[in-house]
Amino acid sequence: MANSTPNFLQFFEQLQQLAAKQRCRFGIRLQGGSDWQQALVQQILNQQNAHAAVFQLGGEPSSGVTHVAAKKGQLLLGRECQLLICDVSDEFDANSFSAALGTLVGGGMLLVIGADACNENPAQQWLTAALSELLVVTPTSIPVIPAVELPLEVDAFAQQTAAVAQIVRVIEGHRKRPLVLTADRGRGKSSALGIAAAQLMQSRSLNIVLTAPTLSAVAPVFHHAFRLLPQAQMNKGELCFGESRLRFMAPDDIIAHLPECDLLLVDEAAALPLPFLMAFVSHYHRAVFSTTIHGYEGCGRGFTLKFQQWLQQERPQTRALHLDQPIRWNLGDPLEAWHRRAFLLDYEFEFLPDALDIAALTYQSISKQQLLADRELLESIFSLLVNAHYQTSPNDLFHLLGDDAMSVFIAKTNKQVVGCILAVREGGLDAELVQQIQLGQRRPKGHLAPVTLANQLGFSEAASQTCLRVMRIAVHPQVQDSGIGSQLLSQFFTTHHADYFATSFGATDELVHFWQRNQFRAMKMGSQRDQASGCYSLLMVKSANAPWTAEASSQFETHFLYELKDTLRTLPPALVRRLMSTSSEAKAGEIPIGLLEQYSYGGANFESVGAWIEQLLLGLTQEQWQQVPDLSIAKVLQQRTWQECAKAFGLAGRKQVEQEIRTSLAKLLTNLHCKTPE
C-alpha cells in the first residue's frame, strides 16, 4: 500500500497534465477501503493549486472544499471548479450529479469515492456498471493513462459570439424573422442570451421580456447581462440599465396579459407547451427561441419535429443556429462522452418502415432485468419517453430501473419499439393510514392518485383499493395519431389488474380528449398551474371495480363549475368546453358531509371543499345563517382573495384565514347535528 500511494499521485499528476494539455476532463473511480480512499483524497487536495476551486457532492465535507448535499448539485450551477469529488456512499441523485458535472472545466478531474452499494437493485447495478467505465483505481492497481488526441483547440467562444450577433440582428433586422437557437448542454446558449441583452440595452432603450419554465432556469442569462452591465440595478427576475429593462415573466403570465415588449427571449423553449410557443410567435414579431436538445431540459426532438416545422410554414424567414462547440471543455471530451452513455443522453430514433401494420404489433411487459440486460431495448424505450414528455429527467432513468412498483409495457414491430407505457402501482393502504391521510396528518409518497382521491375528495375506498397509475405513455413520432396509443392502453388494461386505473397530467384539450376516448373520467383539477407546462394538472380515473367513481365524477362537475369562477378563470375555453361536454345530466344530490368534517379538522384544502361549503351555506335556514361569520361569507360566497380577506379581518395571511373558516365550519356542522370524526 505504501508503494501504491506515490504511484497513484504520480498517475493523477500525469492525468491532470494531459487533461490541461487537451483541455478535457477525466473521471476516476476509487475502489477500496474508506480509510484508504479518504487518505488519497486528502493527498490530492494537498497537492492542488491554491487557486483551484474544489467542489464536493455528498459525503462529509473536507476543509477548503465547497460542499453541497448529494441532492443539491443545482446549487453549484453558474460556477466552475477544477476538481469535483462525488461521494456515492449513501445516495446518488442523477439530476444533482449532472448539474454538478457541468461545473467541471477542461483540465479538471472528477473523483468518485464511496463504497459500492449492494447490487440487487437494477438501478444500483446500472450505476455500478457506469462508474466502472471510469478510470478505476484500487489499492493494488492503477490504470494506464488513456491515449487522448482531441481536435486542435479552436476558439471556444466563436459560436457563442455568432449567436450573440444573430440575437442582436433580431432587433436590428426585419420583423417576423424569429431566431431558433439550439444547443447541446454546456454550449453557452443561455450566456449568449445574457450577453446579447446587455449589448442591446447599452445601445438603445429597450424593454426585453425573458421567459422560461422557471426563473432559476434563466439565472445564467441575468448573470452574464449583469456582468457586462455592473452599473445596472438587479432585483429578483429584473435588471434595469438606464431606460432599458430585462425582466422575467412566467409563460402563463405572458399568455394571460400579453405585455408589450421590444424583444421576447424564450429559453428552454422545448419545455413549454406547443400552443404557448405558437401564441408567442403570433403576438411578438421579434423573438428568440432557445433550447437544449440533449440533456432532458425538454423534449428536444419533439421541439425540432413539431414546432420548427410549424414555424417554417408560418414564418418562412425564420433563422436557425445550432451550437455544438463546448465552452468549458474541448469537443470530444472523454467525461462528456461517458456522461452521455451513462444517462442515455445520446438517444436517436430509428426510422420505422413506411408501411407499418398496426394490427401486426405485439404487446408485452418488460422486466427490470430485461432492461438491464438489453441496453438497446432500454435506449429505445427511454428515447420515446424523453421525446414525449417535457419533464423527463436523469433521475427518471434510475426510477425506471429501481422502483419495484413501476411497470413497463411496450408495443413493438419485429425489432422496433413503437410505443410504451410507464405505470406505477398505488393504493392498498390500511384503514388507519387512510384516516390519517383524510385528516391531513399523513401523505405517504408513491400514492399520488389514492392520496388525492382520499384527502381532497373524501373517498377512503380509493386509498384502500389498488390502483395502477399511467405515469407516461409515448408513441413513436412517425406513427402518432394512428391509434397505437389507445390500442396500447387497451392491451395494458387487459393484461394488468387493479381496482381502478388513473392518470395525472398537465391538462390540454388534446390530451383530455385522448383520455376521454379511452373511458377515463375527470376527478380532480389542480388549483395551481404547473411551473414548467403552464397547465393545470388533471387527475382522471377509469373504473375497473370502483363504484365510488360515479359519485366522484358527479362531484367533479359541481366543483369544476365553482372553480371556474375563481382559480380556473384563465383556463383555455377549448379545455373548458371539453370537460363540460361530458357532464352528466344528473347532478350530485347530497353534500359530502364527511369530506367537510375532515376539512374542518385539518384535512383536504379549501380548493377541494369550497364548492361544498357554498352548497351547505345555500341550504341554511334564516336562523342558521346567523351562525355564519362574515369571513366565511366573504371567502365562500363573494370569493374574495386570501389577501383581501386577511386585510379586511385583521389576519396575517391565508393560513390564519383558512383556520378561521375551518373552525367556524366545525361549529356549524356540530350545530347542524352532523357527526364529527372520532
The secondary structure of residue 271, as a DSSP letter, is G
State the average pLDDT over residues 23-30: 96
Is residue 321's pLDDT more than 60? yes
Report the distance separating Cα 470 and Cα 486, nearest Å: 13
Query: Residue 391 — pLDDT band, cuts 50, 70, 90?
Result: low
What is the rounded CA–CA span in Å between residue 678 and residue 671?
17
648 residue type, one letter: A
Average pLDDT over residues 655-674: 91
Question: In this predicted model, which residue has the larger pLDDT, 131 or 149?
Answer: 131
* Angle (nearest 5°) at CA 267 between 262 and 271: 130
- Percent of the chain past pLDDT 70, that is, above it, reads 92
**For 475, phi and psi rounded to 5 degrees?**
-130, 140
pLDDT of 351 strictly over 80: no
Q: pLDDT value at position 4?
A: 44
Q: Which tens digits make up the pLDDT trace of 78-96?
A: 788 999 999 998 889 999 9
Q: What percent of the chain has pLDDT over 90?
A: 62
> Quick check: 298 pLDDT over 60?
no
pLDDT for 602: 94
Among residues 40, 588, 640, 533, the alpha carbon closest in space to that of 298 is found at 533
Q: How confident is the model at residue 303, as a pLDDT?
A: 64
- Contacts of residue 14, Cβ cutoff 8 Å, sequence gap at least 6: 145
Q: Is the pLDDT of residue 584 over 60?
A: no
Q: Which of 35, 45, 60, 33 is nearest to 111 (CA)?
A: 45
* Radius of gyration (C-alpha) of the chain in whole angstroms: 28
List pLDDT tens digits, range 465-504. 999 999 999 998 888 888 999 999 999 999 999 999 999 9
How far is it, in rounded angstroms, from Cα 120 to Cα 410? Answer: 24
Pick the residue with more confidence: 138 or 275? 138
**Mean of the per-residue pLDDT values of the chain:** 88
Can you give the pLDDT at residue 83? 97
Stated as kind and residue range, the H or E segment containing 467 is: strand 466-475
DSSP-H helix ranges across 270-407: 274-283, 300-302, 308-314, 334-342, 368-373, 375-388, 394-402
* Lowest-confidence region among 51-60, 276-285, 505-514, 616-625: 616-625
Residue 675 in this model has a pLDDT that exceeds 50:
no
Question: pLDDT value at position 140?
Answer: 92
Stretch (H or E) spanning 319: strand 319-323
Do 483 and 528 form a contact (C-beta atoms < 8 A)? no
- Whether residue 585 is predicted with pLDDT greater than 50 in this model: the reply is no
pLDDT over 50 at 16, yes or no: yes
Q: What is the pLDDT of residues 202-257, one digit of tens each?
A: 999 999 999 998 888 898 899 999 999 999 999 999 999 999 999 999 988 898 78
pLDDT band per the 50, 70, 90 thresholds, residue 42: very high
Nearest to 179 by CA among 327, 297, 280, 248: 280
**What is the average per-residue pLDDT within 440-448?**
92
pLDDT of res. 582: 63
> How large is the average pLDDT for residues 418-438?
95
Query: How confident is the model at residue 531, as a pLDDT?
Result: 62
Tell me what pLDDT residue 677 has. 46
Handedness of CA 636, 640, 641, 642 (dihedral sign): negative
Alpha-carbon distance 273 to 14, whole Å? Answer: 49
The pLDDT of residue 3: 45
What pLDDT score does 124 carry? 92
Written in H, E and C, the secondary structure of 474-512 is: EECHHHCCCCHHHHHHHHHHHHCCCCEEEEEEECCHHHH
Instruction: Give the tens place of pLDDT for each residue, 154-180.
Output: 787 889 999 999 999 999 999 999 999
